Chains A and B, each alone.
Chain A
Amino acid sequence: MSAILIFLALVTAVAGWWLARQRLMSKPWLEAGPVNAFPETEASLLHPAKLGLGVFLAVVGALFALFISAYFMRMVYADWQAAPMPRLLWLNTGMLLLASVALQCAVVAAHKGQVDNLRLALLVGALTSVAFLGGQLLAWRDLAAGGYFAAENPAVSFFYLITAMHGLHIIGGLLVLGRTNVRAWRGERPAKLTLTTELCAMYWHVLLVVWLVLFAVLAGWAADFVDICRQLLS
C-alpha cells in the first residue's frame, strides 16, 4: 500500500498547507461583527469549477495510486511474469503529449482572443487524443496476437485493466472537449470558452502525468527504480 500512502501524504501536505492559512487558531466566540478581510468569506478566488476539477483529479489520483499499490502487492508472488511492452506505446505516449501541448496552446489562444488558433488547437487536442485511444486499442491487439490474454497472467491482466481505466478517463474528458470544439467551431467568442478550455487543459495535463507514471510502472522501470533506491539505502 506504499503508493497510495505516498499519494495521501501529498494530499495531506496540500490540505495541511491550506488549513494552516485558514485561521484555525482564531477564537470565533470573541469575534462578533463583520469580517473585514477581503474576500469576506475568506474563500479562495479560484473559480468553483476549477476547484471542483482539482478535487476530482485528487480522487482520480487516489484511484490510480491504489491500482499501482495493488500492482506492487501482486508482483511479489511467484507466478508473476512481466508482459512484453508493445512498442506502439511510445507512439501513443507521444500522441498524448501532443494533445496536452495543443490544449495548452488553446488556453493561450483563448486568453489572447485568437479565434482561429483556438479552434485549431482544440481540434488538434481532440484528434491526438482519439489517436491515443486508437493506439491503445492496437496495443491491446498486439498483445492478444502474441497470446497474452487478459486472464493469462496477472501482469497482463493488470496491463489491460489499468490501460482500460486510463482510457475511460480520456473518453470522459473527450466528451467535454468535444463539446468545447463544437462550441468553438460554431463561432462562440473565445472569452466565453476560456474556462472550459482551461479545465480541459488541466485535466489533460494530469492524465498525461498519470499515464507516464502508469507506463513506468507497467514497463517495470518503476520497480527497478524502487529496487535501486532500496539498495542505496541499505
Chain B
Amino acid sequence: MVDVTPHGADLIPPAEVGEMELYHPHSWWTKYVFSQDAKVIAIQYSGTALAIGLVALVLSWLMRLQLGFPGTFDFITPEAYYQFMTMHGMIMVIYLLTALFLGGFGNYLIPLMVGARDMVFPYVNMLSYWIYLLAVLVLVASFFAPGGPTGAGWTLYPPQAILSGTPGGTGPGIILMLVSLILFIIGFTMGGLNYVVTVLQGRTRGMTLMRLPLTVWGIFTATVMALLAFPALFVACVMMLFDRAIGSSFFMPAIVEMGEQSPHNGGSPIMFQHLFWFFGHPEVYIVALPAFGIVSDLISTHARKNIFGYRMMVWAIVGIGALSFVVWAHHMYVSGMHPYFGFFFATTTLIIAVPTAIKVYNWVLTLWRGDIHLTIPMLFALAFIVTFVNGGLTGLFLGNVVVDVPLSDTMFVVAHFHMVMGVAPIMVVFGAVYHWYPKMTGRMLNEWMGRFHFWVTFIGAYLIFFPMHYVGLVGVPRRYPELGDTAFIPPSVHTLNEFITVAALTVGFAQLVFLFNLFWSIRHGKEAGDNPWRATTLEWQTAGTPPPHGNFGKELPVVYRWAYDYSVPGAAEDFIAQNDPGPATQGGPA
C-alpha cells in the first residue's frame, strides 16, 4: 500500500504551475549572463568547452607538425612538445568532453526530456558554470606563467611532475594545473547534484524511469559515476599540491636531483597511480555513457524505428557504470603489480566488453530494416558505431596483460584511445549538435557545410589513426617529440608520419567550417519549426522553439508512453509523441 500523505502529495509536480514557483530573471544580466535557466547555462558550458577545445585542437596540430616534419619548427622544442601534449590530453578529456556532455548536453536535455521546468537547484547550477569557467581561466593562465604550463603528461605522474626536469614542474605550471582541476571538480559536483536529483525528482507525470529516453539514462549514470570518481582525482591533486608546495612526501620518494637531495623522503608514486586511475578509468565511461545514450536516440529517431532491446540498453548502461569501478589497475600492468591482481583486473576488463557488445548489437538491430534517413546526425551516429567497434577491438588486445606489456607506451595505444575516446565521442558530439541545434536556435544547420564537415572528419580521422596503429606496432614509442636515427624504425614510418600530419591539418580545417556553420546558421539557416525530425521525446513538444523560460507553456506535459513509438502500425503518423494520449488510452488505462 502506498501511504498517501498530504505532505507527499504537495511534492508531485502539479499540472499547472503558478507564476511564483519559477525563478524569473529581471534584467539582461540575470537573463543572459548570470542566468539560472538550465538552457542558458547549457549554452554557456558548451561555448566555453568548445572554445577551450579549439585550443586543444591547435595544440594537436603543433604536435603533428613536429612529428611529421621534425626539426622544421624551431619553437617546438622537446619541452614545448611535452607541454602541448599534456595540455591537449587534459583539455580534450576533461575540459572539453566531460564538460560538454554533462554540463552542456546534460543541462540542456535533462529538464526538457524529463518534462521539468528547470533543474531543481538553479542557483547551484549557475555557480557550477562560473566555477567551471574559473577552472578554465586558471588553466589558460598556466600558458602565460613563467616556465609555461606543465609538461608532465595528462596523467601527471609523480615524481617527475613536480621535478625540475619536467617543464612547469618547479614553476607555477603544475600548481595552476592542480588548482584548475580542483576547481573543476568542485564546479562539476555542484552541477552533478542537479542532474541526478532532477532526473530522480523532477520528472513530470507519467514519466517513469523506464520511459526515460536513453540519452537521459546515459547522462544520469555518467553523472553518478563522475560524482564518485572525481573525488579520487581531487584527493590526488590535493596531496600532490601539498608535496609540491610544502614539501610533504605523500607521493615523492627520496630523490637526488641535479646532485641535490630533495626534501622528500619515502613517498609512494604508485599510490598516485591508484588514485589517478580510480578516477581515470571511470572517466572513459563518463564520456562514453552519454555518447551511448545520445547515439541510441539519434539512431532510433533517424531510422524511424523503436530502439531494439530498450530494457537491455538500460541494464547495460547501469552495468557498465558499476563494473568500471573495479578495473582501474589495467592501466598499471607495467608498474609492477602482483600477477594475481593483474589477472583479476584483466578479467573484469574483459567482462565489461559483454554489456558493451550488447549495446552495439542493439544499435545494429535497431538499424536492421529501419527506414534509414541519412541525415547528418544519422551519418555521425553510424560513424560512431563503426569507430567504436574498431577501437573496442584494439582495446581487447590491450586488455590482455601479455599483449599490453610490449604495446604499452607505443603509438598503438595512442591510436587505440583516440579511436575509442577521442574520435568516437566527438562523432556523437557532432551528431548531437546537428540534431539539437534546431531546437536551440530555431534554425537548421546548413546542410552542405554539414555534409562536407562530416565526410572530411570521418574519412580524415581514419587516415590519421589507422596508419598510427601500424606505426605503433613497428615500435614507435608514444610521447617522443622526434625519433632521430633509430635502427629499428623503417623509412615508411617517416613517410607515414608526414601523411598523418597532412591528414590532421585537413581534419582541423573542416572543424573551422563547422564553427563557421554554427554562427552562420543562427541567422541564415532554414527555419526548423518545433519538431523538424518528427521525434517523440518531450523536448520537441515544447511551447515554441527555442523553448521559452519554463520550457512547457502553462501546463507540464503528461507522459503516456515510452520514447520510441516510431512507425507504430495503424498510427496516423510514423511517430507518436510521448505526451500524445493516442488511441491506446481509449479502452481505459493500460
Total CB contacts across the A-B interface at under 8 A: 186
Q: How far is the CA of A87 from the CA of B585 in the complex (A)?
A: 70
Q: How far is the CA of A11 from the CA of B227 in the complex (A)?
A: 12
Interface residues of A in 44-67 (CB under 8 A from B): 44-49, 51-52, 55-56, 58-59, 62-63, 66-67
Residues of A within 8 A of B250 (CB): 70, 74, 154, 157-158
What's the nearest-Cβ distance from chain A to residue B471, in Å? Answer: 35
Are A24 and B206 in touch, CB under 8 angstroms? no
Interface residues of B in 528-580 (CB under 8 A from A): 558, 560-562, 564-565
Residues of A within 8 A of B582 (CB): 32
- Among the stretches B64-72, B229-237, B459-467, B491-499, the one at the interface with A is B229-237
Are B2 and A38 in touch, CB under 8 angstroms? yes
Q: How far is the CA of A169 from the CA of B291 in the complex (A)?
A: 34
Q: Is B315 an interface residue (CB 8 A)?
A: yes
Are A22 and B209 in touch, CB under 8 angstroms? yes
Q: Is A25 an interface residue (CB 8 A)?
A: yes
Are A23 and B210 in touch, CB under 8 angstroms? yes
Q: How far is the CA of A15 from the CA of B224 in the complex (A)?
A: 10
Are A150 and B311 in touch, CB under 8 angstroms? no
Residues of B within 8 A of A231 (CB): none
Q: How far is the CA of A190 from the CA of B241 in the complex (A)?
A: 44
Q: How far is the CA of A58 from the CA of B311 in the complex (A)?
A: 27
What's the nearest-Cβ distance from chain A to residue B23, in Å? Answer: 14
**Which range holds the interface residue count of chain B?**
35 or more
Q: How far is the CA of A215 from the CA of B276 in the complex (A)?
A: 26
Q: How far is the CA of A165 from the CA of B388 in the complex (A)?
A: 40
Of chain B, the residue at the smallest CB distance from A66 is B235
Are A41 and B208 in touch, CB under 8 angstroms? yes
Q: Is A33 an interface residue (CB 8 A)?
A: yes
Are A24 and B248 in touch, CB under 8 angstroms? no
Are B206 and A41 in touch, CB under 8 angstroms? yes
Are B11 and A4 in touch, CB under 8 angstroms? no
Q: How far is the CA of A32 from the CA of B577 in the complex (A)?
A: 11
Are B228 and A62 in touch, CB under 8 angstroms? yes
Are A73 and B200 in touch, CB under 8 angstroms? no
Contact string against A for B residues 56-69, beta-carbon threshold 8 Å, 1 for contact and 0 otherwise: 00000000000000
What's the nearest-Cβ distance from chain B to residue A2, in Å? Answer: 11
Residues of B within 8 A of A150 (CB): 242, 246, 248
Contact string against B for A residues 18-33, beta-carbon threshold 8 Å, 1 for contact and 0 otherwise: 0100111111111111
Q: How far is the CA of A58 from the CA of B265 in the complex (A)?
A: 34
Are A26 and B210 in touch, CB under 8 angstroms? yes
- Among the stretches B143-151, B267-275, B400-408, the one at the interface with A is B267-275
- Among the stretches B87-95, B189-197, B349-357, the one at the interface with A is B189-197
Are A157 and B249 in touch, CB under 8 angstroms? yes
Are B246 and A24 in touch, CB under 8 angstroms? no
What's the nearest-Cβ distance from chain A to residue B229, in Å? Answer: 8
User: Are A157 and B585 also in contact (CB < 8 A) when A48-B201, A63-B231 are?
Assistant: no
User: Are A157 and B197 also in contact (CB < 8 A) when A24-B210, A32-B584, A42-B209 are?
Assistant: no
What's the nearest-Cβ distance from chain A to residue B243, in Å? Answer: 9
Are B562 and A40 in touch, CB under 8 angstroms? no
User: Are A44 and B208 also in contact (CB < 8 A) when A4-B232, A12-B322 are?
Assistant: no
User: Are A4 and B204 also in contact (CB < 8 A) when A52-B197, A78-B266 are?
Assistant: no
Q: How far is the CA of A19 from the CA of B582 in the complex (A)?
A: 30
Are B311 and A74 in touch, CB under 8 angstroms? no
Are A24 and B311 in touch, CB under 8 angstroms? yes
Are A74 and B275 in touch, CB under 8 angstroms? no
Residues of B within 8 A of A55 (CB): 193, 196-197, 227
Are B201 and A58 in touch, CB under 8 angstroms? no
Interface residues of B in 199-228 (CB under 8 A from A): 200-211, 224, 227-228
Q: Is B470 an interface residue (CB 8 A)?
A: no
Are B561 and A32 in touch, CB under 8 angstroms? yes
Q: Is B263 an interface residue (CB 8 A)?
A: yes
Our pick among A23, A29, A41, A51 for the contact of B306 (Cβ within 8 Å) is A29
What's the nearest-Cβ distance from chain A to residue B565, in Å? Answer: 8
User: Are A157 and B311 also in contact (CB < 8 A) when A1-B274, A28-B210, A52-B121 are?
Assistant: no
Residues of B within 8 A of A15 (CB): 224
Q: How far is the CA of A70 from the CA of B240 in the complex (A)?
A: 12
Are B560 and A34 in touch, CB under 8 angstroms? yes
Interface residues of B in 256-303 (CB under 8 A from A): 263, 265-268, 271, 274-275, 278
Residues of B within 8 A of A78 (CB): 266
Are A66 and B231 in touch, CB under 8 angstroms? yes
User: Are A70 and B271 also in contact (CB < 8 A) when A25-B311, A55-B227 are?
Assistant: yes
Q: Is B239 an interface residue (CB 8 A)?
A: yes
Q: How far is the CA of A5 from the CA of B211 in the complex (A)?
A: 32
User: Are A77 and B266 also in contact (CB < 8 A) when A24-B315, A39-B12, A70-B239 are?
Assistant: yes
Q: Is A161 an interface residue (CB 8 A)?
A: yes
Are A41 and B204 in touch, CB under 8 angstroms? yes
User: Are A51 and B206 also in contact (CB < 8 A) when A66-B275, A70-B275, A157-B249 are?
Assistant: no
Given A22-B209, A43-B200, A44-B201, 13 more pairs with CB closer than 8 A: A11-B228, A29-B565, A33-B581, A34-B205, A34-B558, A39-B12, A41-B204, A43-B202, A45-B8, A51-B200, A55-B197, A62-B228, A154-B249
Interface residues of A (CB under 8 A from B): 1, 4-5, 8, 11-12, 15, 19, 22-49, 51-52, 55-56, 58-59, 62-63, 66-67, 69-70, 73-74, 77-80, 150-151, 154, 157-158, 161, 165
Interface residues of B (CB under 8 A from A): 2, 4-5, 7-9, 11-13, 120-121, 189, 193-194, 196-197, 200-211, 224, 227-228, 231-232, 234-235, 238-239, 242, 246-250, 263, 265-268, 271, 274-275, 278, 306, 310-311, 314-315, 318, 322, 325-326, 558, 560-562, 564-565, 581-582, 584-585, 588-590
